[in-house]
Structure 1
Amino acid sequence: MKDKFYAYIQNLQNQITSKLEEIDGEATFKEDKWTRAEGGGGHSRVIENGAVFEKGGVNISAVHGALPESMQNYFGVKDADFFACGLSLVIHPKNPMVPTVHANWRYFEMYDKAGNIVDQWFGGGQDLTPYYLFEEDATHFHSICKKACDAHNSDFYKTYKKKCDEYFYNAHRNEGRGVGGLFFDYCKATDDMSMQNWFEFVSEVGDSFIDAYAPIVEKRKELEYTSVQRDWQEIRRGRYVEFNLVHDKGTLFGLKTNGRIESILMSLPSHVQWRYNYHPEKDSEEAKLIEVLQNPKEWVK
């Protein structure tokens, strides 16, 4: 399974970066291959200062070795080895009318000292973070997510949409990071779902990403914007940074397993602001976004 999933994310990385380069029309992804001293490595692809994308990364990794003590404590195990691979992406467009997007699809195995698999699971998801709320964009993104889920289980979308709203939440701000999408983790074999079934589900979600995001970018990338709207984008990016550094489990895992710091922090935008006690004007387009972030909506039925 680990070989099958790693081959899948290698191919998916190629598909996604090719499509995003086509949309940008100017900048290309630069690949940076790296190795981890304890075992494994990855391929980071980063795009910067393009016509459409200010900064973005589409990274894959496959790492293995002894599970660090901090992670042993987290999982409640001792003397375990692990293998983890995944694709993680974050795209920050230049135009504030185009939303930031994040996605991650991953697979994890844990072994005893004899090399036997003692646990394995899939995780992942994709979520949208707009700066200005176009409800039809949120509906489109969620519709694609629901279609991918419904192909496998009619309860998946409702369940994983709720988990996404709960996970990508800045509790210290009492607001969501964005308008959500899907989030699933610890997807293990059961009587109803084999690991092959989970692979098929996760790969269907991964394959749906371009259909979910690319049409939104194409529709919004040429819209005009003001310096005030650009400031708002950078202020909201500050909330994005806060979530990734305070709450995100993926960032924590990378830091505690001696991952490559440049790849772990590629999710941070190039330009960001923190203004003291800033609040948008009442009834403004900016306030409209905050209302939805504080009160998650059901975008599709």
Structure 2
Amino acid sequence: MSVTLTRLQTATKSTARVFTPLCKGTIHHQGVDLHSSLRRPYSSFRKLTSLPLTKWFPRSVSTRLMSYGINVTSGGYRKGVFLVTGAATVAGLAVGVCHFQRAEMASRIVLPEKDEGDILERCKSFMCSPITDVHVLQERKDEMSTRMEMLILETQAAFCKALEQVDGGSFKVDRWQRKEGGGGISCVLQDSKVFEKAGVNVSVVYGNLPEEAAKQMRSRGKVLKAKDGKLPFCAMGVSSVIHPKNPHIPTVHFNYRYFEIEEADGTKQWWFGGGTDLTPMYLNQEDAVHFHSTLKEACDKHHPQYYSDFKKWCDRYFFINHRNERRGIGGIFFDDLDSPNQEEVFAFVKSCARSVVPCYLPIVRKHVNDSFSPEEKAWQQLRRGRYVEFNLVYDRGTKFGLATPGSRIESILMSLPLTARWEYMHEPVKGTKEAELMEVLRQPKDWI
């Protein structure tokens, strides 16, 4: 699918070194045809090797070990264990607070890509014209807000087109505006051949930070200096939840976001957050290894400790406390990344966003024709009920979005499945595949 932009009458030809879906449904990543690679068996994906490990203490006091929750005090950088303090999440309009305030990025291993291509040329592949006026994007092409908006629009288009290829249906593209500033693009495929409900949303919003959001950020350690009680902000992100019809195809979720606040003296605070996680209804060891290996490869390009720490963070975050179980088998999750510098954090987020298609689509293709029984479908519905419980009870982004003026409720609740089920006092029979899944949800394991 190709969208013609009314303001893009002329464009210079340029080859972008980015994850860009081209015309006729072909998706390329740095010159590689991903659709052909997605059909390869798992054995074709190369195994990963560990890189030399260097971890650092951040220059801060009263921080917490990300992996272990231990309080420490540090007066400067020194070798030790990778640390994270609290986090405040802004996903589109949904501003939430995570377990930690701040994740300290470690030293760089790879150089970020700076040549991201011509904006007009890149816009041709999007599901819709950009939220920000394309002329403004061109004028501010080197600013992080522009680069991030281009990345999330490309991620949305790449994932939607990959899903359309395997499903045969087409996403409904719904463009919306926020009267307080900004807007978004919601792409939804509903009750189709393979996917019962698939949503891929992008939002770019700006204005003055709501007082409730500012209070939550300050409670987590953010020092925000307002001018006349106002804090101008810009928030953007791409978020997706996919609910397949077949219970042997897992549900997947990903979200990558950027937040920027301008303080009274004109300085800006910024941070990134995001993650990708898998929720299978039936445990498949090969699927789990492939999914986590692909995410680890993306993380290892930047630091060998990222996957391990962000995997643990993911297991902690997607926890349904009242059920004493995780939502799924995890993946990676991180928030409030703002060091060592903006360029390196953006390069890391870009690697994670580009891993979404290769970590999920091979699993979909593998199981798309699997047969299933009515009993297996009923189990899928019960597990979807748990998904709903987490999103409405615990997910901070959803909860805050529902309470924030100007929120687009349809886009926030896009994450909920079309159908779900709750049974009184249900517990799977011991020794069954359903019981096998529950063991992993109650006791997370390392897959690689």
Q: TM class by shorter-chain length?
A: over 0.9
The aligned runs of 1:1-301 (5 Å cut-off) are 1-25=144-168, 27-76=169-218, 77=224, 79=229, 80-113=231-264, 115-117=266-268, 119-189=269-339, 193-257=340-404, 258-300=406-448
By how many angstroms is 1:137 displaced? 0.4
1:8-48 deviation line (CA, Å, top 9, x unaligned): 111111111001000102x2100111111111100000001
- The structure having more radius of gyration, on CA atoms, is 2
TM-score by length of 2: 0.65
Aligned residue type for 1:121? W
User: Counterparts of 1:144 and 1:126 in 2: how far apart (Å)?
Assistant: 11
Q: Mean Cα displacement is larger for which, 231-240 or 74-83?
A: 74-83
Q: Percent identity?
A: 49
Structure 1 unaligned segments of length 5 or more: list them. Answer: none
CA RMSD of superposed structures (Å): 1.1
Structure 2 residue matching 1:120: 3-state secondary structure:
strand
Structure 2 residue matching 1:133: 3-state secondary structure:
coil
Structure 2 unaligned segments of length 5 or more: list them. Answer: 1-143, 219-223
By how many angstroms is 1:275 displaced? 0.8
User: Counterparts of 1:65 and 1:247 in 2: how far apart (Å)?
Assistant: 26
1:92-146 deviation line (CA, Å, top 9, x unaligned): 00000000000000000112245531x2100000000000000110110000010
User: Counterparts of 2:189 and 2:362 in 1: how far apart (Å)?
Assistant: 19
Q: Mean Cα displacement is larger for which, 247-256 or 10-19?
A: 247-256
By how many angstroms is 1:74 displaced? 0.4
Structure 2 residue matching 1:298: 3-state secondary structure:
coil
By how many angstroms is 1:207 displaced? 0.3
Structure 1 residue matching 2:355: 3-state secondary structure:
helix
Aligned residue type for 2:276? Q
User: Counterparts of 1:116 and 1:151 in 2: how far apart (Å)?
Assistant: 31
User: Counterparts of 1:266 and 1:83 in 2: how far apart (Å)?
Assistant: 22
Aligned residue type for 2:418? S
User: Counterparts of 1:102 and 1:170 in 2: how far apart (Å)?
Assistant: 16
User: Counterparts of 1:294 and 1:253 in 2: how far apart (Å)?
Assistant: 27
User: Counterparts of 1:56 and 1:113 in 2: how far apart (Å)?
Assistant: 41
User: Counterparts of 1:159 and 1:144 in 2: how far apart (Å)?
Assistant: 16
Aligned residue type for 1:231? A
Structure 1 residue matching 2:345: 3-state secondary structure:
helix
By how many angstroms is 1:255 displaced? 2.4
User: Counterparts of 1:36 and 1:252 in 2: how far apart (Å)?
Assistant: 19
User: Counterparts of 1:255 and 1:108 in 2: how far apart (Å)?
Assistant: 19
By how many angstroms is 1:72 displaced? 1.4
Conserved? CA contact 1:70–1:256, under 8 Å: no
Structure 1 residue matching 2:323: 3-state secondary structure:
coil
Residues paired across the two proteins, number: 295
